[in-house]
């Protein structure tokens, strides 16, 4: 199961958002949980970001959502995001990633 997450941030907050994402990834790696992956992208529009979240199963998704790493990140978005993110469920088809 995967999710595409799209969101906009307040103009001038791109560097802050990039640092927050790097911290999130560091914190998630420290958990050592191999059941999920979080990949973030900045677009050509410095106020628009995209993330792809991949979960092995519902339990992995819940571990991610209830992790302190995600809670810390989520709480920090209140000063950066223009509104709630948009999420789209994705169904895996194929990938070069193993």
DSSP string, the chain: -EEEEEEEB-TT-HHHHHHHHHHHHHHHHHHT-TTEEEEEEE-SSTTEEEEEEEESSHHHHHHHHT-HHHHHHHHHGGGTBSSPPEEEEE-----S--
Look at residue 65 and tell me whether its pLDDT is greater than 90: yes
Looking at residue 86, its pLDDT comes to 97
Look at residue 95 and tell me whether its pLDDT is greater than 80: yes
| pTM summary value | 0.88
Question: Out of 3.40.462.10, 3.30.70.100, 3.30.590.10, 3.90.1560.10, which CATH number does the structure's domain 2-90 have?
Answer: 3.30.70.100
């Amino acid at each position: 199961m995967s999710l595409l997450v799209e969101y906009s941030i307040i103009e001038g907050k791109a560097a802050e958002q990039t640092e927050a994402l790097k911290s999130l990834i560091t914190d998630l790696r420290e958990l050592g949980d191999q059941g999920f992956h979080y990949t973030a992208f900045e677009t050509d529009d410095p106020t628009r970001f995209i993330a792809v979240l991949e979960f092995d199963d519902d339990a992995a998704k819940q571990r991610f959502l209830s992790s302190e790493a995600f809670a810390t990140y989520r709480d920090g978005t209140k000063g950066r995001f223009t509104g709630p993110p948009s999420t789209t469920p994705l169904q895996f088809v194929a990938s070069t990633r193993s």
